[in-house]
């Protein structure tokens, strides 16, 4: 960034410290905002999932089950009336009127059940879409938060610190990390110790 980059909110290493790959080296100044956005996105996603769960197992499903029972009752009542009117001495026009009213009741309850089921299906589909969108937002927020953390790219030792806590990132970066698993050292040995040097022997090296 212009002006040297983001400000270091927290520096978690020091000179000579050993670090492992993916250890957090520093926390940048935009981390608190990014972390808040993650928590907000996760809360919205949790709320959407709870609402969908309520749709699947809550009162709306119970209402549909009750309406199905009403439809069955109305259907059986209509069939019973048809059987009764076959043996009834009522005038034909009155029979037809009663049967028509009974059939309308069945159709009305069936239509109500159909509308409720279609509405629930549509609401579930909309909820699923919303959950997918919120899940993507959570992933984006987590990625943004992760970018506010500087991690070590390798196992090694902190050889030099360029940027301190509260400072903007130096042009050279934050720290220099070197891998000392394989090093080549050119050293001068006193004559009195030459006889102790053998190929393959172990040595202990210290630096001033």
Residue 142's pLDDT band, with cuts at 50, 70 and 90, is very high
What is the overall mean pLDDT for the chain? Answer: 87
CB 164 within 8 A of CB 8: yes
Residue-wise pLDDT tens digits, 58-106: 777 778 888 888 888 888 888 887 777 777 777 777 777 877 888 888 8
Cβ count near 73 (within 10 Å):
12
pLDDT at 13 over 80: yes
**Distance in angstroms (rounded) separating the CA atoms of residues 29 and 175:** 17
If DSSP states are collapsed to H, E and C, what string results for 9-47? Answer: EEECCCCCCEECCCCEEEEECCHHHHHHHHHHHHHHHHH
Q: What is the mean pLDDT of residues 114-121?
A: 86
Q: What is the mean pLDDT of residues 3-30?
A: 88
- Look at residue 81 in the predicted model and tell me its pLDDT: 77
Portion of the chain with pLDDT greater than 70, in percent: 98
Would you give the end-to-end CA distance of the chain in angstroms? 36
Residue-wise pLDDT tens digits, 148-202: 999 999 999 999 999 999 998 888 899 999 998 877 888 888 888 888 888 888 8
Q: Is the pTM of this model over 0.75?
A: no
Q: What is the mean pLDDT of residues 104-129?
A: 87
Cβ count near 31 (within 10 Å):
19
CB 80 within 8 A of CB 105: no
Size of the chain in residues: 208
**Distance in angstroms (rounded) separating the CA atoms of residues 195 and 101:** 117
């Amino acid at each position: 960034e212009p002006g040297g980059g983001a400000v270091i909110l927290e520096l978690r290493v020091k000179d000579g410290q050993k670090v492992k790959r993916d250890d957090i080296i520093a926390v940048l100044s935009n981390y608190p905002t990014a972390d808040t956005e993650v928590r907000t996105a996760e809360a919205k996603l949790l709320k959407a999932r709870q609402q969908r769960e309520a749709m699947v197992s809550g009162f709306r499903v119970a209402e549909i089950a009750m309406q199905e029972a009403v439809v069955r009752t109305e259907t059986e009542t209509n069939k019973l009336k048809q059987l009764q009117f076959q043996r009834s001495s009522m005038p034909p026009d009155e029979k037809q009127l009663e049967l028509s009213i009974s059939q309308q009741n069945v159709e009305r309850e069936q239509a109500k059940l159909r509308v409720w089921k279609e509405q629930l299906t549509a609401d579930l589909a909309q909820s699923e879409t919303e959950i997918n969108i919120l899940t993507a937002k959570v992933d984006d927020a987590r990625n943004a938060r992760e970018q506010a953390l500087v991690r070590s790219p390798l196992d090694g030792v902190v050889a030099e610190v360029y940027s301190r806590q509260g400072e903007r990132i130096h042009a050279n970066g934050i720290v220099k990390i070197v891998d000392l698993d394989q090093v080549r050292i050119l050293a001068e040995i006193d004559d009195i110790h030459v006889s102790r040097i053998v190929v393959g022997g172990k040595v202990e090296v210290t630096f001033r």
